[in-house]
Each structure stands twice: as C-alpha cells, then as structure tokens.
Chains A and B, each alone.
Chain A
Amino acid sequence: MSINGAAYVVGAFEHPTRKAEGQSVAQLHAEVAYGALQDAGLSKDDVDGFFCTAAAPGLGPINMADYMGLTKLRHVDSSDMGGCSYVMHVGHAAQAIKEGRCNVALITLAGRPRAEGMATGTVPRSWAPNIPDDPFEIPMARTVVTSYAMVAQRHMYEYGTTSEQLAWIKVAASQHAQHNPHAMLPKPVTVEDVVNSPMVADPLHRLDCCVISDGGGALIVARPEIAKSLKRPLVKVLGCAEATKNQAGGGIDLSYSAVRQSGAAAFAEAGVKPSDIQYASIYDSFTITVLMQLEDLGFCAKGQGGKFVADGNLISGVGKLPFNTDGGGLCNNHPANRGGMTKVIEAVRQLRGEAHAKVQVPGCKLALANGVGGLLGHRHGGATLIMERE
C-alpha cells in the first residue's frame, strides 16, 4: 500500500525557546501543539490521531493526551526510533489516514535537556532497564559522540575523507543560521574555525557537534479533503520509509547507515530520484551524520561525501543541494536531543516558500527530510520523508 498522496502536512510549528527555564516538558508539548494547530487553522478537537515518543512524559501517548485535553482520539502511535521518530511519524500518520483510522494527526516533540543541565553527548547513558547490550557497552564508555566519532574515523580510513571536508558541513549550516534570529550559533564560521576548535573525540571537534537545546516542535498531518479546505499552501506526502541497522552479531560495518534502505524505499514510493530534490533537511547531530546520510540517500556515491559537501555545495544559493536552511542542529537547535522534528518543519517552510528570504530555495517544489536515530556506530534507525508542494 503506497501512501503517495494520502495525506498532507497542514501545520508546522517550532518552539522559539532554546532554554526553557520557565516551562515544563508537558507545557512545551502543549505550546507546540497549539502553535501547529493555529498554523493549520484547526483546533484541538479536530485532532483524532496523536503521535509522540518515549521522550514525551508519561506512558506512551496517554499522559500527554490527558494534559492537552485531546478527547477525540481514535488513533495513537508512540513508536520510538530516537531522533528520527518524527520523520517516521509523518509516514505512519499518512498510513493511518489512508486506512481511515484518523483524519487529523498531531505529532509533538518537546524537551529541556539544556535547562536540566544534561550531559547529552559525552556521558554513557542507558535508554531503559534490561537492555541486553548495556552490560557490554556502558562500561566501555559508550557515548553519543564516541559512537559517531568511530564512524567518522572509519570513513576517513576507507575513503580518505578529511576533517576539512567535514567542516564544510558546519560552515554551510552557519551560513544559514546567520539569518535565523532564534539560532543558538548565528555567527558564520570557517573551515579553519571548525578544525581548530577543541577535539572532543577524534576526529570530531567541538564544532563538528550539534548544540544542546530546549524546545520542540509539532506537525499536523491531514487527509486531502481537509488539507484542501484550509488556507495554507499544500504540502503533500509523496513517500516515507524507515529502517533499522544492527550490529549484526559482531558483523557491524560502519561504512553505511539504515538510511541506505529507508532512502531507497521512500524514493521508490515517491517516484522521484535524488537529483530531483531541490531542498534537503538532513539530521545533523554531527557533521559525519550528514555525510553518511547524503551518501546513503544517493546524492553522491559511497565514499564521495567529502568531495560533495566541500566548497559550499550545501549552502543555499551557492551549492547544488541546499540543506538545513534554519541552521540545523549544528547551529540552530536540537530540541530534546532529537532533531527529526525540526528537519520536517524546515522542509515544510521551504515548500511553502516561508523560509527566510536569504535562504529560500526559489520555486521549491520537492523536498526531503531525513533522520538517523540512536547511535550511528552501534545500532540505529533511519527515516526518510519526501514531500511535494502541490
């Protein structure tokens, strides 16, 4: 069953806060939900499908549905694949709409790791009790940054990728962030700035890493009849797919990601190819994360990511593939340590023609939002979403 054309993204809202000292996580969920409904021109009682993840406070969707007074729900989904969950949820919402299980789906994300002083990337963390890999990996100081760093190290070994090439990803994000008044790091940086910033975990420098921020975002996905009754530009879901990649019982291969599979499936469902894409939101937890996804999505051949991103090729108005025109996780925000939501939101802005004028892709008709969730160097998920301006 294809979801191509089954649903539209009719509402999108990104919380403006980057440090939520005065708001609880639940309040942030409510604020982004309200913002997205206002953006769509809908109200709370139009929502009959609700999507969140384990990052939402409570047991699955139950506590947040209660907090927000969502009394009309007939479809819920709290499937969690880390930071890319919200990309995946758009596809799940389109499936549910196509099956008639809901008409208006609300997807929310919120968190306040910055206000809570969380050491997001550099301290070993378990996701939950009874995880079978934890006893073998927590003592080994498995952290987010070291997991991604091992992938970068291997990429450099296999393909000759350089720190300077990775730095171009940050440079491009910073060029976009200078136009975003909410961005945490709005100052443009150079390749030299990145490679001269302190080494965190070889070969990733501080400026190869994303920011830690509070905030969140929400999306509204609706069936075509409803989308066409609203006043917003029409953003149609063409294809969406997810995949996981494992350690394979000791056969782990760090040269590719789950996105190789999710990307191929989403492109097939959408009936388009990478060279058709005019704008791409690519989850940028680290610079290497972007490089890996670009290769696995087919924007360039495996191993050629370094050359592809160099010389400003990701900068809007300069290069072939404008990416993360809000500044992305590298410069703008990374709410709740989960970047998938903001990736979809900026792609929606581009398709509506509502990105900042300095970074808007002229006549943007076809956009992609992509994410990786979990630990790229251990086990992770990938999700790919392709949308079209109708």
Chain B
Amino acid sequence: MATMSANRAIPAPKEDPTTKPFWDAAREGRFLIGLCKDTGKHFWYPRGCSPFTLSNNVEMVEAKGTGTIYSFTVMRSKEPHAPAYVELDEGPRVFTNIVDCDLDTLKIGQTVKLVFKATEEGGAPVPMFTPV
C-alpha cells in the first residue's frame, strides 16, 4: 500500500536581511548554500558568519541540487509528509522534505534531486527533494 506525499500547505519562510539573497535566488529557481572562504568548505543553513571560523568572509554559491538521504521520517498523524536530512553532493546535510513520491519506498542512501515548492501567502519557494 502506497503513501503518496501530500501537497500540504507550506508556511512561508520568514525572510531576514542576512538571508534575503537566498530567498531572492529561490524565487529565480536557484538553490544557494553557504561557502566559507576561509576554509573553502560549504555550510548549511545560510548565515552571515562561517560556522567553521566565525568570520564574515562568507558568500552564497549555487549548489547542484543533488544528494542522498541521510535520514528521514514519514509523518503519519497528519497529511503524510517526509521531513529528512539530505546530504548534498557538496557535503552539507540539509534539513528538508522528500516530496512527490510514495513515502513508503524511501530509504537512507537513496539519491534525490532538488525541487522548489511554493509556500503560502506568496512567500519564497523552499528547497525540497524528490527521488531521482
């Protein structure tokens, strides 16, 4: 028996001055992640400092939008949806949702790709993932 992911109403992300460029890019269909220019390492979630050095020598760069499921759950006491961590090919593990699929078939290690999902009240779209 399959459990298709619901098209649940997604609350709009509350934008702040530091991460506005992330949401602006999302509206253009581009998925940005943090880059620490001190260490060359990518990070998630985007922020105004490096979580590795604390300096503000950071920028947001476009990610490929591909990765694998690190862990997930299927919420069944509401409309079925699947919060998950996806490990991006660039390295960071991103808290997201797995969407547009039979949630009963999900597996850790499964390959997934980015899909932006619209949010309520005309908010910026948010990055989610679906099995390849």
Which A residues lie at the B interface, using CB under 8 A? 122, 124, 130, 132-143, 145-147, 149-151, 153-154, 157, 198-204, 246-252, 254, 377-378
Measured between alpha carbons, how far is A130 from B15 in the docked complex, in Å?
10
Q: Is B61 an interface residue (CB 8 A)?
A: no
Which among A146, A153, A250 is the interface contact of B93 at CB below 8 angstroms?
A250
Measured between alpha carbons, how far is A252 from B14 in the docked complex, in Å?
23
Shortest Cβ distance from A47 into chain B, in angstroms? 40
Considering residues A132, A136, A203, A378, which has the most beta carbons from chain B within 10 angstroms of its beta carbon? Answer: A136
Shortest Cβ distance from A25 into chain B, in angstroms? 27
Q: Is the CB of A154 within 8 A of B76?
A: no
Q: Is the CB of A249 within 8 A of B44?
A: yes
Interface residue count for B (Cβ, 8 Å)? 50
Q: Is the CB of B71 within 8 A of A199?
A: no
Q: Is the CB of B95 within 8 A of A141?
A: no
> Which residues of chain A are within 8 angstroms of B123 by Cβ–Cβ distance?
139
List 17 extra interface pairs beyond A139-B13, A249-B92, CB under 8 A: A122-B78, A133-B45, A136-B95, A137-B45, A139-B10, A140-B83, A140-B95, A140-B96, A140-B97, A140-B126, A141-B83, A150-B84, A154-B71, A200-B75, A201-B75, A202-B73, A203-B73
Shortest Cβ distance from B101 into chain A, in angstroms? 15
> What are 9 A-B interface contacts by the 8 Å CB criterion?
A122-B75, A124-B11, A132-B47, A137-B95, A139-B12, A143-B83, A150-B72, A249-B44, A249-B52
Which B residues lie at the A interface, using CB under 8 A? 8, 10-16, 18-19, 23, 33-34, 36, 41-47, 50-52, 70-78, 81, 83-85, 88, 91-97, 108, 119, 123, 126, 128
> Which residues of chain B are within 8 angstroms of A139 by Cβ–Cβ distance?
10-13, 119, 123, 126
> Which residues of chain A are within 8 angstroms of B50 by Cβ–Cβ distance?
249
> Which residues of chain A are within 8 angstroms of B119 by Cβ–Cβ distance?
139
Q: Which residue on chain B has the smallest CB distance to residue A205?
A: B76
- Smallest CB-CB A-B distances: 7 pairs: A250-B92, A249-B51, A249-B43, A149-B73, A250-B44, A135-B13, A154-B71
Considering residues B18, B41, B73, which has the most beta carbons from chain A within 10 angstroms of its beta carbon? Answer: B73
> Which residues of chain B are within 8 angstroms of A122 by Cβ–Cβ distance?
75, 77-78
> Which residues of chain A are within 8 angstroms of B73 by Cβ–Cβ distance?
146, 149-150, 153, 201-204
Q: Is the CB of A378 within 8 A of B76?
A: no
> Which residues of chain B are within 8 angstroms of A130 by Cβ–Cβ distance?
16
Q: Is the CB of B83 within 8 A of A146?
A: yes
> Which residues of chain B are within 8 angstroms of A250 by Cβ–Cβ distance?
33, 42-45, 88, 91-94
Q: Is the CB of B126 within 8 A of A154?
A: no
Given contacts A122-B78, A378-B95, contact A135 B14 (CB under 8 A): yes
Q: Is the CB of B51 within 8 A of A248?
A: yes
> Which residues of chain B are within 8 angstroms of A143 by Cβ–Cβ distance?
75, 83
Q: Is the CB of A157 within 8 A of B95?
A: no
> Which residues of chain B are within 8 angstroms of A149 by Cβ–Cβ distance?
73
> Which residues of chain B are within 8 angstroms of A251 by Cβ–Cβ distance?
91-93
Measured between alpha carbons, how far is A203 from B75 in the docked complex, in Å?
10
Q: Is the CB of B10 within 8 A of A157?
A: no
Measured between alpha carbons, how far is A377 from B50 in the docked complex, in Å?
21
Q: Which residue on chain B has the smallest CB distance to residue A123?
A: B78
Shortest Cβ distance from A45 into chain B, in angstroms? 46
Q: Which residue on chain B has the smallest CB distance to residue A204?
A: B73
Given contacts A140-B96, A250-B94, contact A132 B45 (CB under 8 A): yes
Q: Which residue on chain A has the smallest CB distance to residue B90?
A: A250
> Which residues of chain B are within 8 angstroms of A248 by Cβ–Cβ distance?
51
> Which residues of chain A are within 8 angstroms of B97 by Cβ–Cβ distance?
140-141
Shortest Cβ distance from A255 into chain B, in angstroms? 10
Shortest Cβ distance from B109 into chain A, in angstroms? 8
Which among B51, B71, B81, B91 is the interface contact of A150 at CB below 8 angstroms?
B71
Q: Which residue on chain A has the smallest CB distance to residue B84?
A: A150
Measured between alpha carbons, how far is A247 from B52 in the docked complex, in Å?
12
Q: Is the CB of B13 within 8 A of A138?
A: yes
> Which residues of chain B are within 8 angstroms of A377 by Cβ–Cβ distance?
71
> Which residues of chain B are within 8 angstroms of A249 by Cβ–Cβ distance?
34, 36, 41, 43-44, 50-52, 92
Considering residues A138, A141, A149, A204, which has the most beta carbons from chain B within 10 angstroms of its beta carbon? Answer: A141
Measured between alpha carbons, how far is A97 from B47 in the docked complex, in Å?
40
Given contacts A134-B14, A250-B94, A378-B95, contact A141 B75 (CB under 8 A): yes
Given contacts A136-B13, A139-B11, A154-B108, contact A202 B126 (CB under 8 A): no
Q: Which residue on chain B has the smallest CB distance to residue A146?
A: B83
Measured between alpha carbons, how far is A314 from B72 in the docked complex, in Å?
28
Shortest Cβ distance from A290 into chain B, in angstroms? 18
